[in-house]
Amino acid sequence: PAYRLGGTVAVVRGNVLLLGLLALVVARLTRRLTGDPLSGACAAWATLLATPVSALASDTSPYTVMITAVAGAVDFAVASLGPLGARLSPRASRRYAAAAGLLAGVAVGSQPLGFPTMAPLLASLFVIRSEADEALTSGVYPSWLPTRASITRGLYGLAGALAVLGPVGALNRVRF
């Protein structure tokens, strides 16, 4: 669709805009993991300056979409576990997991090379426990088994991915 709207120039402009979004996502993910805004800013600049995605943004390739979607999926997957030292409501956790799945689907749908990173990410939603899960199952349930909440979180992530990959698969069936 972008080629019909503005040709190659529109695609390159879209890729450059995605670079800005990538920097914001990386900054937010870093702040979420470290709690330090300066670390987030440094990570954003390092992402823009030290990765091949900056060079690929001037080309008509799907890599900028994929890399931005991968970073966003990781950010939402981490968010689905809740902030450190605090509890997240189950509803919010499921929403973040579905958003992670949706972006994982975008990553894989735009470039199949996203699959090796997104499959383990979605699988981790099934097994990694949040702090709220730990509080409910501490001492009662073996720590290496998934909880009901983690399985639900994983299913929401999988549903988000399938919401994108289903139509992409149907389109590719017709195209190829």
- Residue 2 pLDDT > 70, yes or no? no
Query: Percent of the chain at pLDDT above 90?
Result: 45
Question: pLDDT at position 141, please?
Answer: 66
**Cα separations in angstroms, 80 against 52, 94, 154, 174:** 29, 7, 10, 35
Question: pLDDT at position 84, please?
Answer: 64
Residue among 98, 103, 117 nearest 160 (CA): 98
Question: pLDDT at position 53, please?
Answer: 73
Residue among 54, 61, 50 nearest 20 (CA): 54
pTM: 0.85
Query: Percent of the chain at pLDDT above 70?
Result: 89
- Residue 135 pLDDT > 60, yes or no? no
105 and 162 in contact (C-beta within 8 Å)?
yes
Per-residue model confidence as pLDDT tens digits over 101-133:
999 999 999 998 999 999 999 999 998 887 666
Per-residue model confidence as pLDDT tens digits over 72-100:
999 999 999 887 656 788 899 999 999 99
pLDDT, the chain, mean: 86
Helix axes 148-175, 115-127, angle to 10 degrees: 150
